[in-house]
Amino acid sequence: MEAASYMDKSIMPEMGNAPSLQRRVERLLKDADKLFSLADIRRYCQMLMKDYYANLKPTPYYNHETEQLRKKECHFAYALTMTYTSTLPKIVQWAKGCIKEYLLQEVQEERERCIKEFARMEISSRWYQIKNDDHTWRIFSQNIPFDEANRVSEICEFFLRLDKICILTDILNGHAADYGIEVDYTTATSDTAKKTAMQKSQKPPKPRETMTLKRKGCMTEAHLTLLYMKLCKEGWIDGNEADFKALFSGKRDEDCQLTWLEPYGRGTLFELFRQIINANLAEVADGYTLSAILEGHFKDPRGQWLTSMDKGNNPNSRALPIINECIKMLKASPQQMLEGNWDEDGDFASIYDPYDHQDMQLHKR
């Protein structure tokens, strides 16, 4: 379940700093629920990323280095976004092997073990200062050596470990259902966990049931964030990010409302999702069709629900290159995205667009 460890001198503390290491561990364990609950910080990071894309200019970008991307907080926002839920598939598999009444205790023990390993990393030495606001993470980002090519593996390891600890923390705080994990919260010692779990279990069923696509394990929240930004930037869709992600939740969600802005025909919208399914990145539940799902989630610019998605309209050929870019982006692993080492001629040739490909290779300045 753990990513490979990089036990070199740049990560391990010096022997003379052993007491300092122990203090770091104690600080992290004491305030773990606050230090590793990053919902608000992720939202701030995504806002920064969206602002970056909104300010790209329609001129040749390939060798363009923006001032904003030089800032370490933008690197941090990108890395945190790209690795979110990347460790979830292994956590889910690990949880399946545990009887529910014992799972919460094992999650607690696993988080403590992971925090102790996390504390041994040089980069994490000031993580105890983090608060769930839009200020402290920007300061902390200055500690990460994004401009040092020989420390790419260390940086990747940091964000992967952080992702795992944050998911375990969310589970302990009553949010296991959000990750598709069943936990018996009657054994919880945290009042917050019990209250959160109780509120989630008491939500009334929604009157209009619309089945959504079920994403496969390799497609994370970060992939969906980037796909959402890509489609908004291209002028294909309108709507909030939560509704877009709900489309891939695999659950019934009658509140999900998105607008297909129709820069191309409806066949283009159908083709995009058809290729996502064909690439084994999502699936349609038994008893439903892709057409029915899209008609239940998308409206046209006039506010009317889409209809007749199954009439076989062909996708606009001008949109196919963009669809191909979206599929390549969704297939890329978080570590490939962070390292910027995807093969130009292979499946990972594009992560965003050709013009800003180089800008997003964060560690190859």
Structure confidence by residue, pLDDT tens digits, 126-164? 999 999 888 999 999 999 998 888 998 999 999 999 999
> Are 247 and 270 in the same domain?
yes
> Are 53 and 168 in the same domain?
yes
Taking Cα atoms as reference points, which of 115, 174, 132 lies closest to residue 45?
132
Q: Which of 146, 178, 201 is the last residue of a domain?
A: 201
Whether residue 47 lies inside any domain: the answer is yes
Radius of gyration, CA atoms only, the chain: 21
Whether residue 279 lies inside any domain: the answer is yes
Whether residue 117 lies inside any domain: the answer is yes
Q: Which element (helix H / strand E) includes 76?
A: helix 72-83
Q: Does the pLDDT value for residue 2 go beyond 80?
A: no
Whether residue 342 lies inside any domain: the answer is no
> Are 70 and 170 in the same domain?
yes
> Are 166 and 19 in the same domain?
yes
3-class DSSP assignment, residue 249: strand
Whether residue 357 lies inside any domain: the answer is no
Whether residue 231 lies inside any domain: the answer is yes
> Are 99 and 138 in the same domain?
yes
> Are 255 and 321 in the same domain?
yes
Contact assessment for residue 244 and residue 224, using Cβ atoms and an 8 Å cutoff: yes
> Are 273 and 163 in the same domain?
no
For the segment 277-331, what is each residue's pLDDT rounded down to a tens digit? Answer: 999 999 988 778 888 888 888 988 888 888 777 665 677 888 899 999 889 888 8
Domains: count for the chain = 2
> Are 317 and 235 in the same domain?
yes
> Are 116 and 228 in the same domain?
no
> Are 115 and 248 in the same domain?
no
For the segment 332-344, what is each residue's pLDDT rounded down to a tens digit? Answer: 876 666 654 444 4
CB burial readout 155-175, b (16+ within 10 A) else e? bbbbbbbbbbbbbbbbbbbbb
Q: Which of 201, 224, 246 is the last residue of a domain?
A: 201
For the segment 261-277, what is each residue's pLDDT rounded down to a tens digit? Answer: 888 888 899 999 999 99
Contact assessment for residue 73 and residue 332, using Cβ atoms and an 8 Å cutoff: no
C-alpha distances out from residue 231 to 174, 278, 288, 307, Å? 33, 19, 24, 21
Whether residue 235 lies inside any domain: the answer is yes
3-class DSSP assignment, residue 260: strand
pTM, rounded to two decimals? 0.62
Q: Does the pLDDT value for residue 1 go beyond 50?
A: no
Whether residue 254 lies inside any domain: the answer is yes
> Are 186 and 231 in the same domain?
no
- Give residue 86's domain range: 15-201
* Cα 331 from chain centroid (whole Å): 13
Q: Which of 178, 201, 224 is the last residue of a domain?
A: 201
For the segment 222-272, what is each residue's pLDDT rounded down to a tens digit? Answer: 888 889 988 988 889 998 888 899 899 877 777 788 999 888 888 899 999
> Are 218 and 197 in the same domain?
no
Tokens for 304?
């009317």
Q: What is the DSSP letter of 215?
A: E
